Structure 1
């Protein structure tokens, strides 16, 4: 069964899968493939999920960036960097936040606030 593409202009969730994020070398007790599949399933039709190589802040693995939709950007939303995403419930929290509008349209959920950080690194182009 293939994923339903989101409508143009939906938020994007960029998932780091570089040298540290998503590897059992750094986080051996996390099923990284299952977590990515869960995120894709939860965001199906709501947001674009893209996987990229190293985003840079390896000390914060696992890292994801939630970028706003065009409407969220017009409302002042900017990409939100999330780090140390190694819990079981974070994919659901991210999906719920995105379904509520994501950056610019909905506040970061309480359960994700500890994960928010600022990065000096620009998002990679893919």
Structure 2
């Protein structure tokens, strides 16, 4: 999960960023990242596939504009069900998915 210049900051209003981070950490493994260079999508959460998901060919799923508690709960539920490559992406989370821009070499 991104927590840097925009994500997790007062730039995204109406979100209890600490509560969102704590909720995710209480339920699933979380790695906090510095800026992922997609600030227009703040708050960004990238769901990595499990070993089983990777074996099935799954790739990370990028979710943007995760700015309400219901979306956070939907992510927790999906990860508990197996996440990418194991459990189908819930239709509601499909609204949050985006493809990050390719990074230039050396970025």
With structure 1 as the length reference, what TM-score do the two structures score? 0.77
2:84 matched residue in structure 1: 103
Distance 1:51 1:99, change over 3 A: same
Structure 1 equivalent of residue 5 of structure 2: 19
- Which residue pairs with 2:16 in the alignment? 31
Summarize deviations over 1:43-70 as a string: whole Å, max 9, x none.
2xxxx20101101110000001001011
| Uncovered stretches (5+) of structure 2, i.e. residues with no partner | none
| Rounded Cα–Cα distance in structure 2 between residues aligned with 1:73 and 1:90 | 24
| Cα separation, 1, equivalents of 2:45 and 2:60 | 10
Q: Which 5+ residue runs of structure 1 have no aligned equivalent?
A: 1-14
Question: Is residue 55–residue 121 contact of structure 1 (8 Å, CA) maintained in 2?
Answer: no
The answer to which structure has the higher strand fraction is 1
Q: Retained in 2: the 8 A contact 1:56–1:121?
A: no
Change (3 A) 1:121 1:53: farther
TM-score with structure 2 setting the length: 0.90
CA RMSD of aligned residues (A): 1.2
- Matches for 1:3-82 after TM superposition, within 5 Å: 15-24=1-10, 26-43=11-28, 48-82=29-63
Mapping of residues 76-91 of structure 1, within 5 Å:
76-91=57-72
Over 6 Å off, 4+ runs: none
- Which sits farther off after the overlay, 59-68 or 28-37? 28-37
- Greater helix fraction, Structure 1 or Structure 2: 2
In the TM superposition, residue 121 of structure 1 has moved relative to its aligned partner by 4.5
